Amino acid sequence: MMLLLVGWWGSLLYSQAERIAELEKRVGASPEHVVEARFRARRMIVWESSALFVLLLAAAGAGLWMLFRDSRRTRELEAFFASITHELKTPLTSIRLQTEALADSGEATGRQAELLRRLLEDTGRLEGQVERMLELARLEGGGIVFLREVPVAAWLESALRPWREVHSGRLELEVNVPPNLSIRADAAALDVILRNTLENALKHGASERTKVSISAGRAADGVELTIRDDGAGFPGEPRDLGVLFRKGPSSKGTGIGLYLVTTLMARMGGSAEFDGSTGFRTRLRFSTGEAS
Question: Between these two residues, 242 and 190, which has the higher pLDDT value?
Answer: 190
Q: Is 55 a residue whose pLDDT tops 70? A: yes
pLDDT in tens, 83-108: 666 677 778 788 878 887 887 777 77
User: At 145, phi and psi to the nearest 5?
Assistant: -110, 155
Sequence letter at residue 142: G
Position 122 scores a pLDDT of: 80
Cα 7–chain centre separation: 41
pLDDT in tens, 134-187: 777 666 666 677 888 999 999 999 989 888 877 777 888 899 998 888 998 888
Position 144 scores a pLDDT of: 75
- The span from the CA of 233 to the CA of 205, in Å, is 9
Provide the sign of the torsion angle of the four alpha carbons 221, 288, 290, 138, taken in this order.
positive
Percent of the chain topping pLDDT 70? 75
> What counts of helices (H) and strands (E) characterise the chain?
6, 7
CB 257 within 8 A of CB 196: yes
CB 231 within 8 A of CB 280: yes
Q: Is 81 a residue whose pLDDT tops 80? A: no
Q: Is 249 a residue whose pLDDT tops 70? A: no
- The span from the CA of 289 to the CA of 268, in Å, is 9
Q: Which domains does the chain carry?
A: 1-143 (no CATH), 148-287 (3.30.565.10)
Question: Between these two residues, 214 and 292, which has the higher pLDDT value?
Answer: 214
Question: Between these two residues, 78 and 122, which has the higher pLDDT value?
Answer: 122
Question: Between these two residues, 290 and 212, which has the higher pLDDT value?
Answer: 212
Q: Is 289 a residue whose pLDDT tops 60? A: no
pLDDT average, residue stretch 239-252: 66
